[in-house]
Amino acid sequence: MIAYARPAMPRIGVISDTHGLVRPEALRALAGADLIVHAGDVGAPEVLDALRAVAPVVAVRGNNDRGRWATALAETEVVERGGRAIYVLHDLHELDLDPRAAGFDAVITGHSHQPRIERRDGVLYLNPGSAGPRRFRLPVSVARLNVSARVLGAKILTLDV
């Protein structure tokens, strides 16, 4: 009998609102990801370079991303992994489509600095919070998204900083 290895479930690291700060704790939390999604307010191209040392990166432009380097970032991106379609934008209030009707399984956003996982109308909404400078009393965090045709699960990882 031949044993076949089950293909690994794609793991997506999700980060947002770094505002130019690359925390070693965030890089450690994202280690092992197959892909990293940055949901905007990157702050500097060096942030993306540091993330690319961990895994391939898909990033969108946030309202604070300015300058020539930021013009290369789209305002929205679509990520397809594990048979799932994920829509990425910075500010949820700028969502101008019905994710379910458009065929998206998940929406990843940033902007609010408030980590949140919720399901609405069969769609997973994920905001990893902020991995950049602490804002008010909000936690510093990133998220993990496990994706397959059968599973779409997210977890917020609060960083000990």
Please give the residue range of the domain that contains residue 37: 11-158
Number of domains in the chain: 1
- Give the pLDDT band (50/70/90) at residue 8: low
CA angle 44, 45, 51 (to 5 degrees): 105
Taking only the tens place, the pLDDT of each residue in 50-95 is 999 999 999 999 999 999 999 999 999 999 999 999 999 999 999 9
CA–CA dist 49, 119 (Å, integer) = 32
Please give the DSSP secondary-structure letter assigned to residue 31.
T
In a domain, 4, yes or no: no
In the numeric block, the tokens 């936690």 are attached to 139
Taking only the tens place, the pLDDT of each residue in 14-45 is 999 999 999 999 999 999 999 999 999 999 99
Residue 46 sits in a domain whose CATH number is 3.60.21.10
82-106 in b/e burial notation, b at 16+ Cβ within 10 A? bebebbbbbbbeeeeeebeeeebbb
In a domain, 60, yes or no: yes
What is the percent of the chain where pLDDT is above 70? 95
Q: How far, in Å, are 59, 89, 98, 103, 104 from residue 121 at the CA level?
A: 26, 19, 10, 12, 11
Note the pLDDT of residue 7. 52
Q: Considering the chain, what is the average pLDDT of its residues? A: 94
pTM of structure: 0.94
In a domain, 86, yes or no: yes
In a domain, 2, yes or no: no
CA atoms within 13 A on the CB side of 23: 21
- Which residues, in sequence order, are bridge partners of residue 86? 79, 106
What is the percent of the chain where pLDDT is above 90? 88
> Is the pLDDT at 136 greater than 90, yes or no?
no
In a domain, 5, yes or no: no
